[in-house]
């Protein structure tokens, strides 16, 4: 909860800076800046937590469904973290392959990266912006469905609730959803000022997911890292 509050403070600071001084905001929101590294930190933390939760399900559950689900969740967070830092390209000063460069001689009209980076979310394939299509529209629809449709079905459909708990899927809390919706509406309203404000929405989205998996609505029906630690302490206790 403290971390969630801290990120809300970062978001509010960014919004205030955009309104007061847009030129300062552009510097503050730059590549490899505070917002990008906080987003990376949220994704890495979520990856670690999901990985430990998968181990907890593997050790304590009679079914492997939830273990596989949390393994998939962990891999998705890892993918997001690596994409966020372009797989360490700028950290290790790795050159972008020619076929990903807009001005390269190979595949210029079929495949390149609009930011000349080694990642997937900035690819342009046959003129289609992958970031807008997959990481924008499709991902947005998936997030809306998971944040707004799934919780309603979980609360009012007992068969669906049993299925979700069997798969070990976390359900978003009301306060987490409320914060994200406020952030989404405010970011949309400010988009015309500077499109880079979407970086703040991405930050809040990642921390909302982290908050959801650590403190889900259906926590009592799921295993988590706490159960893994309890098992470890029990195995280490003298008989």
Percent of the chain at pLDDT above 90? 54
Confidence check: pLDDT of 105 > 50: no
Distance CA 215, CA 47 (A): 15
Res. 103 pLDDT band, cuts 50 70 90: low
Least confident of 86-100, 127-141, 149-163, 167-181: 86-100
Distance CA 175, CA 4 (A): 11
Q: Which residue has the higher pLDDT, 60 or 237?
A: 60
Distance CA 155, CA 166 (A): 15
Res. 82 pLDDT band, cuts 50 70 90: confident
Confidence check: pLDDT of 237 > 50: no
Say what the pLDDT of residue 138 is.
80
Mean pLDDT computed over 74-79 = 94
Distance CA 48, CA 201 (A): 22
Mean pLDDT computed over 156-164 = 96
The whole-model pTM stands at 0.83
Q: Where are the domains of the chain?
A: 1-84+168-239
Of 168, 188, 160, which Cα lies nearest the Cα of 64? 168
């Amino acid at each position: 909860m403290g971390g969630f509050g801290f990120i809300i403070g970062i978001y509010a600071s960014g919004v205030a800076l955009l309104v007061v001084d847009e030129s300062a905001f552009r510097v503050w929101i730059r590549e490899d800046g505070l917002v990008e590294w906080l987003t990376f930190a949220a994704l890495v933390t979520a990856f670690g937590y999901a990985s430990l939760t998968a181990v907890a399900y593997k050790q304590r559950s009679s079914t492997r469904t939830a273990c596989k689900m949390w393994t998939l969740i962990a891999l998705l967070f890892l993918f997001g973290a690596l994409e966020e830092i372009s797989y360490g390209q700028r950290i290790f000063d790795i050159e972008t392959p020619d076929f990903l460069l807009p001005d390269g001689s190979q595949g210029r009209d079929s495949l390149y990266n609009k930011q000349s980076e080694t990642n997937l979310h900035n690819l342009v394939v046959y003129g289609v912006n992958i970031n807008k299509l997959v990481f924008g529209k499709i991902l947005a629809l998936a997030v809306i469905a998971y944040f707004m449709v799934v919780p309603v079905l979980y609360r009012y459909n007992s068969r669906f609730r049993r299925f979700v708990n069997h798969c070990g899927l976390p359900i978003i809390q009301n306060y987490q959803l409320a914060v994200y919706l406020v952030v989404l509406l405010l970011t949309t309203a400010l988009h015309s000022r500077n499109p880079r404000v979407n970086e703040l929405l991405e930050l809040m989205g990642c921390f909302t997911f982290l908050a959801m998996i650590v403190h889900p609505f259906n926590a009592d029906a799921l295993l988590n890292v706490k159960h893994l630690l309890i098992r470890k302490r029990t195995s280490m206790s003298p008989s």
